[in-house]
């Protein structure tokens, strides 16, 4: 498990903040990796060794902008009882669809080999995808966990959103800006290996694909439809999130019937990476109740 206590001692050399794309950080390297071809698109899927295989307790985890499913590695303690599928959206999406619409089609395609019903955990951009998927296919979703929820660009701090694009700057600039971007997303409690994992994965995504996904966020306004969600919903928000304000999470929770909001006061935008124990306690209890 990764948490704030896993920071290296004084004198220990931290992982590089802008690692090569092949450099998998400690704590992330043991995940099992599978590639599925869905609609002609390769989709990377990560699972935990010795994780549960119970199809009825399948949970698909959708990461944030530019991240991979590997970022959910700190959820490993839940894998004994939940079948966690750490899904990574395709690195490239066709020009015929927006990335959001293409990912919705990929998730729902038979080649995705997902069970008839499953739970969704979506972080940031992944929360936008989770909401849109649940609205389009409510019969397939058992439960919904939204982390740092993005339902409308009107509720996002645009300065932080713009800052996140600097990860894709030319390499010399990226070396200067990547630590700042990672701290905006992860906050002060994100371990060095977590920051390195976020930056490493972001560098795999082309500038054009990142721009297209940002356009999805900028065009999003699902707030008027949130009342249509009729699945058990848990929302987890970091109290120090510099991208999605707490008031935005409260607004999302208020609009979804029966939604429960939990705020981790010291966490930022990636609480499952920075405050994994508290996050896992909340999410584990919720999902075990609604995936049996």
pLDDT at residue 243 in the model: 85
Asked whether residue 48 carries a pLDDT value surpassing 90, the answer given is yes
Instruction: Select from 88, 89, 47 the least CA-distant residue to 69.
Output: 88
Confidence of residue 43 (pLDDT cuts 50, 70, 90): very high
Tell me the CATH number at 286: 3.40.50.1820
pLDDT tens digits for 190-248? 888 888 888 788 778 877 888 788 888 888 899 999 999 999 999 999 999 988 889 99
pLDDT at residue 37 in the model: 95
pLDDT at residue 226 in the model: 97
pLDDT tens digits for 257-273? 999 999 999 999 999 99
∠ CA 113-116-121, rounded to 5° = 80
Does a structural domain hold residue 69?
yes
pLDDT at residue 104 in the model: 96
Mean pLDDT confidence for 6-28: 59
* Domain count across the chain: 1
Does a structural domain hold residue 22?
no
Asked whether residue 174 carries a pLDDT value surpassing 60, the answer given is no
- Structural domain harbouring 103: 31-290
The share of the chain scoring above pLDDT 70, in percent, equals 82
Does a structural domain hold residue 121?
yes
Does a structural domain hold residue 15?
no
Mean pLDDT confidence for 126-131: 96
Across 7-11, 171-175, 236-240, least confident range: 7-11
Mean pLDDT confidence for 19-48: 88
Asked whether residue 18 carries a pLDDT value surpassing 70, the answer given is no
Asked whether residue 160 carries a pLDDT value surpassing 90, the answer given is no
Does a structural domain hold residue 164?
yes
Asked whether residue 188 carries a pLDDT value surpassing 70, the answer given is yes
Asked whether residue 162 carries a pLDDT value surpassing 80, the answer given is no
Does a structural domain hold residue 280?
yes
Q: Which residues of 193-205 are buried (b: 16+ CB within 10 A; e: fewer)?
A: bbbbbbbbbbbeb
End-to-end CA distance of the chain: 25
Does a structural domain hold residue 46?
yes
Does a structural domain hold residue 36?
yes
pLDDT at residue 177 in the model: 58
CA distances from 290 to 134, 165, 233, 284 (A): 15, 36, 10, 10
Confidence of residue 66 (pLDDT cuts 50, 70, 90): confident
pLDDT at residue 1 in the model: 40
pLDDT tens digits for 105-123? 999 999 999 999 999 999 9
Q: Which residues of 100-126 are buried (b: 16+ CB within 10 A; e: fewer)?
A: bebbbbbbeeeebebeeebbbbbbbbb
Across 5-9, 73-77, 107-111, 247-251, least confident range: 5-9
pLDDT at residue 61 in the model: 98
For the record, the structure tokens of 128 come out as 């936008």
Instruction: Tell me the whole-structure pTM to 2 decimals.
Output: 0.87
Mean pLDDT confidence for 141-148: 98
Asked whether residue 19 carries a pLDDT value surpassing 70, the answer given is no
């Amino acid at each position: 498990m990764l948490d704030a206590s896993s920071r290296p001692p004084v004198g220990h050399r931290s992982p590089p903040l802008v690692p090569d794309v092949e450099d998998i950080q400690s704590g992330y390297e043991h995940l099992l990796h599978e590639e599925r071809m869905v609609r002609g698109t390769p989709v990377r899927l990560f699972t935990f060794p010795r994780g549960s295989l119970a199809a009825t307790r399948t949970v698909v985890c959708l990461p944030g902008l530019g991240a991979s499913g590997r970022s959910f590695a700190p959820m490993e303690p839940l894998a004994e009882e939940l079948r966690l599928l750490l899904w990574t959206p395709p690195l490239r999406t066709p020009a015929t669809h927006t990335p959001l619409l293409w990912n919705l089609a990929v998730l729902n395609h038979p080649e995705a080999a997902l069970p008839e019903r499953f739970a969704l955990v979506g972080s940031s951009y992944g929360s936008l995808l989770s909401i849109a998927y649940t609205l389009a296919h409510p019969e397939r979703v058992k439960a919904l966990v939204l982390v740092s929820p993005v339902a409308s660009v009107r509720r996002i701090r645009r300065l932080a959103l713009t800052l996140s694009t600097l990860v894709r700057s030319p390499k010399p600039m990226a070396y200067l800006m990547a630590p700042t971007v990672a701290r905006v997303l992860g906050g002060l409690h994100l371990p060095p290996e977590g920051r390195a994992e976020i930056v490493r994965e972001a560098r795999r995504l082309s500038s054009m694909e990142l721009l297209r996904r940002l356009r999805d966020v900028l065009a999003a306004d699902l707030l008027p439809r949130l009342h249509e969600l009729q699945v058990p919903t848990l929302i987890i928000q970091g109290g120090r999130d510099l991208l999605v304000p707490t008031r935005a999470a409260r607004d999302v929770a208020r609009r979804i019937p029966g939604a429960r909001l939990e705020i981790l006061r010291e966490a930022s935008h990636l609480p499952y990476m920075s405050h994994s124990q508290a996050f896992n306690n909340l999410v584990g209890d919720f999902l075990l109740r609604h995936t049996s």
